[in-house]
Chain A
Amino acid sequence: MKEAGIHVESLSLFYPGNPRPALQGVNLTVYQGEIAFLVGGNLSGKTSLLRCLAGLIPGVLPGKWQGRILVANKSLNAEGNERAPASVILQNSDLYLLPRVYDELALPLVNSGLTSREVEKRIVLLAEELGICHLLNRQMSSLSGGERQKVAFAAAIAVDYPVILCDEPFEQADAEAAEAMLSLLRRKAASGGTVLIATRYFEYARYFADRIILIRDGAVIAQDRSGNAEKIAGMVPECRISRRQRSQATIMTVSGSRELFFEGVTHLFDSGHGIKNVSLEVCKGEVVAIMGPNGSGKTTLLKHTVGLLRPQEGRVWLRETETSRLPVGLLAEKIGMLFQNPDDQIFNERVDREIACSLRARGARWNEALKEAAHWLAKIGQAQIAASHPHSLPYSLRQIVSLVSVLINRPEIIVLDEPFKSLDYRNVEILMSIILELRQEKDNPIILVTHDPTVTLLYANRVAFFDHGEIVLQGVPQDIFFSTQFRNLSLGRHPFIRGLLDSNNH
């Protein structure tokens, strides 16, 4: 009989100052040699559960849990300050403790009691396994997002614990990096380890899980072997786009006038990264998705739209105007840009003031701007948050606040730089419905950078794939995703694409 690697009984969790439980009556068992996926949307309780299993609550973070937790046969104490015998991969892979890659990997090994020689041996083995030998002497700050993620992953699993807990490990990873991580986790499980991965992407669970556990509102709502994935898939619409929704994504043709045109734009940084001779046009009413691996030049292109970067070669046209001499402020009045993380911009103590200050910056009076902010909040059904402190709201609502602070200026072109990175599909739908409603009024073109092919399929008229700073493929998503060329790209191995191809018998 298989032995349990993780066993949880009647687990409830309360955060201080919140009478509502973050977890309630959670029961689950993950066996040794198994990869289990904990699938749930935003605020479902995935991260809270992982924090309890890792001993972070109450070790470092405030919170009180009741129930029973066993990790690798070690019973965790609800009052204690003891680490669980588990490797933990946190959601934010941009975090690191030491400036040099080698030291970052060495720290957990030294802390586990290994000698310098053993540490060196283990690091070399791990680096070979993950293909990061060439990074060992580099500075962490000089790594690309993908490289940093690999190092964070390596540092987390450097000590050979019997249990591995991963919180959204694919969120910042392109398909290639996700595949490398999954194959290593599969090897760990095959050698008797227990792996629990929290994610909001059901498609990953469908293809890579031995067991799928669904969580919502802090409670486990279903669990089954992955062979029965179809049976439970419908229970988490926030984590999965159904076949019906996919078929509703109709091919839209756009024949509007040209609004924005990148004409042979080149911008290369000292590191050699950037974009090379990129030509792309965006027409009225069109939604253009931009996809590609980390560091392929997507954000560099977007920054040219508002003048944060200027072309070293080539030109950017806003209708008939060449934009190189237009100041950022003027361009930004016409082009609204929403960035990845709402916390990078929110600075006011009230939601309505945060939204209104975008109008105020364009010369509106405070009372007029506040009135307009209230109107927008009512329009999107969030009038009740007007007086709230933005940082007291959940992440998804903070992103909506950021979006409204962009849309309130009624920009002619909307640029979205990975705004859905940490959001489930229910929240993506809410955000996109707000954007598309505005678009219906003015037929604004939209440029959308995303890693998620689901979003592209549902909302884009056209998709451009970037690789090493160049557009390697461009066309209608429905055609592109089934093309042979696309399957040669790393994104062609994304579980959503696999599902798409499977369901169409390709």
Chain B
Amino acid sequence: MAIIALLAVTIIPTWKQLAANLVALLIFATFTGVFKEVVKRLWPCASLLAAMLIIHSLFNPANRHYWWVFGLEGTLYALRLALRLLCILIILHYLISTTPPFEFVKLFNKIHPDLGMIVSMFLAIMPALQKQFITTLEIQEVRGLIKTNSLPARLRAYLAVLVPIVIHSINHAYSLAQLLYLRGYSWRHIGLAREPAKRSEKVAIGLSAVYLLANVLVAYRWY
């Protein structure tokens, strides 16, 4: 569904259609109760998008028509970029928040079983590394090493946290290699059962197809 929606957003040629899509996605977010969360996630991008608009409106070499010092062509170009980026981010947010990690593994497993295994191991290692980071941070804090009063102290604090994590990661990799060997990892791989699509999934795919088709038609009519 996300792939179809991303495809639709990518082919849209005008800022007006992109703006309509953004409004539609935000309305969808409001109805599904994630509007506040989406806005919270997108907020950090606001300064980046604003900077992009300003730079293009002032310095885009394609600028021919001006309103005061702002070039119209550059502004429209930046607006299209910004709106497209916002739509993509909202769709990706939906994808991540509604898809359990195991579904990603299934997807990569279909591409190649070794790729599935790598993604699985990555997903398994991340919480362990996160836990290690918290433990080391706590220990060095208790030792009085986490200080932010001067640059050398801050650099030393980074090292104090980073070095144990790197060493832990190396040891962890050695241990995982042993574990893979002991579990007999070879050319055979976990065969994930192919489950028939659920009704809700079929509806979602159908809606995405309509969304893509509508965008293609509007874009076609525009020209």
Contact = CB atoms under 8 A, between A and B. Distances in A.
Contact of A90 (B124, B144, B167, B175): B175
Contacts of A308: 138, 141-142
Interface stretch (A23-31, A105-113, A192-200, A213-221): A105-113
B168 A99 contact: no
A111 B193 contact: no
A344 B139 contact: yes
B135 A113 contact: no
B167 A343 contact: yes
Interface string A322-334: 0000001100110
Q: Which of B136, B140, B190 has the most CB of A within 10 A?
A: B190
A103 to B, nearest CB: 6
A88 B182 contact: yes
A97 B143 contact: no
B144 A344 contact: no
B179 A97 contact: yes
B102 to A, nearest CB: 6
Given A54-B182, A111-B188, A156-B182, A345 B175 contact: no
A358 B175 contact: no
B188 A113 contact: yes
Interface string A286-305: 00000000000000000100
Interface in B136-173: 136, 138-145, 147, 156, 159-164, 167-168, 171-172
A99 B120 contact: yes
A200 to B, nearest CB: 20
Contact of A345 (B121, B164, B191): B164
A90 B182 contact: yes
A155 interface: yes
A361 B147 contact: yes
A204 B211 CA distance: 67
B101 interface: yes
Contacts of B179: 90, 95-97
Interface residues of B, number: 51
Interface in B65-89: none
Interface string A344-373: 111100000000011001100000000000
A112 B186 CA distance: 9
Interface stretch (A56-64, A422-430, A448-456, A497-505): A56-64
A60 B178 contact: yes
Nearest to B135: A344
A337 B120 CA distance: 36
Contact of A343 (B123, B131, B143, B171): B171
A99 B123 contact: yes
Contacts of A95: 172, 175-176, 179
A430 to B, nearest CB: 22
B61 interface: no
B31 interface: no
Contacts of A159: 184
B185 interface: yes
Given A344-B139, A361-B144, A107 B183 contact: yes
Max count, chain A CB within 10 A of own CB: residue among B139, B140, B180, B183: B183
Interface hub of B144, B172, B181 (most chain A Cβ within 10 A): B144
A95 B129 CA distance: 12
A116 B182 contact: no
Interface in A470-500: none
A361 B144 CA distance: 6
Taking chain B's interface residues, is the majority helix, strand, or loop, or is none over half, making it mixed?
Answer: helix
A111 B121 contact: no
B189 interface: yes
A282 interface: no
Interface string A92-125: 1011111110010011101111001000000000
A167 B105 CA distance: 32
Nearest to B130: A141
Nearest to A59: B181
A83 interface: yes
B190 A110 contact: yes
B132 interface: yes
A1 to B, nearest CB: 31
Contacts of B96: none
A344 B23 CA distance: 49
Given A94-B128, A99-B101, A345-B139, A112 B145 contact: no
A83 B120 CA distance: 24
Contacts of B33: none
Contacts of A347: 159-164
A405 interface: yes
A439 B162 CA distance: 33
Interface string A122-139: 000000000000000001
Interface in B11-57: none
Contacts of A61: 174, 178
B164 A107 contact: no
A226 B191 CA distance: 46
Contact of A306 (B142, B178, B186): B142
Contacts of A90: 175, 178-179, 182
Nearest to A332: B142
Nearest to A113: B188
A90 B182 CA distance: 10
Contact of B184 (A100, A112, A406): A112
Contacts of A113: 188
Contacts of A328: 141-142
A60 B185 CA distance: 13
Nearest to A114: B188
Interface in B92-138: 101-102, 105, 120-121, 123-124, 127-128, 131-132, 135-136, 138
Contacts of B188: 110-111, 113
A83 B181 contact: yes
11 contacts: A95-B176, A110-B189, A116-B191, A141-B128, A141-B131, A337-B142, A343-B168, A344-B139, A344-B164, A345-B136, A346-B164
Given A141-B131, A329-B147, A362-B144, 4 more contacts: A83-B181, A83-B184, A303-B138, A344-B164
